[in-house]
Amino acid sequence: MHSAKMKSPWKVPTVFPLFFLLFFHSSAFLAYDDQKGTSHPNGHSCLGCVAVVSVIEQLAQVHNTSIQGSMERLCGYLPEKLFLKTTCDLVVHMFGSDIIKLLGAHMNADVVCHVLDFCKQDPGQPQCHLYPLPKEAWKFTLEKGRQIVKKSSSLKYPRSSSDICSLPFLAKICQKIKLSIKNSMPFKDVDSDKHSVFPTLRGYHWRGRDCNDSDKTAYPGRRPDNWDVHQDSNCNGIWGVDPKDGIPYEKKFCEGSQPRGIILLGDSAGAHFHIPPNWLTASQMSLHSFLNLPTALTDELDWPQFSGVTGFLDSTSGIEEKSIYLRLRKRNHCNHRDYQNISRNGASSQNLRKFIESLSRNQALDHPAIVIYAMIGNDVCNGKSDPVPQMTTPEQLYSRVMQTLHHLNSHLPNGSHVILYGLPDGTFLWDNLHNRYHPLGQLNKDVTYAQFFSFLSCLQVSPCHGWMSSNKTLRTLTSERAEQLSNTLKKIATSEKFTNFHLFYMDFAFQEIIDEWQKRGGQPWQLIEPVDGFHPNEVASLLLADRFWKKLQLQQPQVLGKENPFNPQIEKVFGDQGGH
């Protein structure tokens, strides 16, 4: 059994590849950052280094400038916020001259990163490379590279011991991020009610915004205190008394309307892990490319505000489908702000107990909730060279899910609903991507997803070696285990009963999403995150939400609650109920 300890994705073994290291080292991308003793402990820094050097080289190519010029350009694109530009300038100061010399000698990113010791080949281990190997013998090329940088000063900098978070100006930021990842709780929460007025660091991007951060009894999702005559105790923006008849608005508009919240227990897919492709695509980079980088870093490279379950902002992808939360809110405006995304990069049935405490629901005081349990990947996905022994067994899954359900039964208000979501068949990843070019390979047509997947697997940092592999037998084995686990969830849903919630099972029907997308003229590969080649992207998440909603409407409409006939009046009196 793998260790369930979740390491912080911020322990970066070196100062070099600035933000790329930060986000490649995020445990979502390395879906199993909690594995000890992989034979490539520096896999993350190697991946980050190769990505950065590739981008530097491609920027020089696109803009017809020197390597020095392209490094300055890259730093110039970065915002000052979170000291990102400062860190970049420091890195260029430390390693720039070596990179210039090596690239000038026509060495590729793989060679550069091995010479600079960000990539290491352990004895007896295969040679990990993203680009085709040099024509000359690898050892000879490396030796040549080492001679080139021998006289350089940058080798004085210790690589293995330093940590990007040990830079004095980053220490404070790193500490905040580490803490919010560790606890999955809002960093800024004055009244400790698990809700915040701050967006990131597990704030209201993740769960409904607090409307009074100095009052522990005011938070989204609670039943109104004294019908909210004097203040908005549940943050849905409805409070006060109608002067015409003296009836409190909350009583008039919400009583008997069956308000309910939506809560997701999920992994990086549920948190909507996303690395924008223009962060890696030299031909698309501009001053605007990295404006959202500080927000992304303080949200763990997740974008829950756009996710299919709890997203509250309009889609950036232009499709009309809405998140499940926005649909519940539209159905009954009294549900405003009642959403919680309790998801974590690297989460699985085995380590959910580490952060399920961050769920906020008071059995006595709060409205019922719809809880979606969607651990869709990490029970079968890991980066080990032999991933099968690390996979969760049906017996382990049964035991952990039962623990989770008992926990929910003791925390959820009566009348809640829990939906167990099945696992997908991830063979569509290889089938639809392997011969396409990865964003790093588009400019020179030199890196396909097959090469990218193989590089990740070699470094043992693949989010899912079982599915992102050229080995068809391994892909089939992974799908078979996923199906066994889905059947276990189905069995639990049909045989177990709980006092405070109704339990349902729903298939993760990705093929239905693909069919729907193709009907609209789209291609299956357009539903997968382009940078990691693994996660469902925003379009896929919203199409899944649409499918989920339609199935519930058809089979279990009571889960969604009634349509509130007073919605037009609520809008008339309260406008957008205080937004988010």
Active-site positions read 268
Which single residue is written with the structure tokens 């290291």?
21
* Cβ–Cβ < 8 Å for 110, 119: yes
Instruction: Count CB neighbours of 106 within 10 A.
Output: 9
Residues 227 and 220: their CA atoms lie apart, in Å, by 14
Residue among 22, 49, 34 nearest 351 (CA): 34
Cα→Cα distances 355→6, 183, 246, 470, 494, Å: 10, 7, 44, 35, 27
3-state class (DSSP) for residue 2? coil
H helices within 151-292, ranges in order? 168-183, 249-254
Pairing type for strands 369-374 and 339-343 reads unpaired
Non-local CB neighbours of 216 within 8 Å, separated by 6+ positions: 191, 192, 193
429: its two tokens = 């990843």
What is the residue whose two structure tokens read 């991020």? 177
Burial (CB < 10 A; 0-12, 13-18, 19+), residue 5, is exposed
Helical (H) or strand (E) element with 432? helix 427-433
Radius of gyration of the chain (CA): 25
Q: Residue 405's closest CA among 477, 507, 489, 479?
A: 489
Instruction: Read off φ and ψ for residue 307, nearest 5 degrees.
Output: -75, 165
C-alpha 282: how far from chain center: 24
Token pair 């499918």 is found at: 547
Hunting for tokens 């950052």 — which residue is that? 33
Task: Quote the CA–CA distance of 443 and 387 in Å, as a whole number.
Answer: 33
Which distant-in-sequence residues (6+ apart) come within 8 Å of 55 by Cβ?
Answer: 20, 74, 280, 282, 285, 440
Rounded to the nearest angstrom, the gap between the alpha carbon of residue 562 and the centroid of all alpha carbons in its chain is 32
In 3D, which of 354, 348, 336, 4 has the Cα closest to residue 183? 354
- Cβ atoms 423, 485 nearer than 8 A: yes
Q: Which letter does DSSP use for residue 556 in this model?
A: -
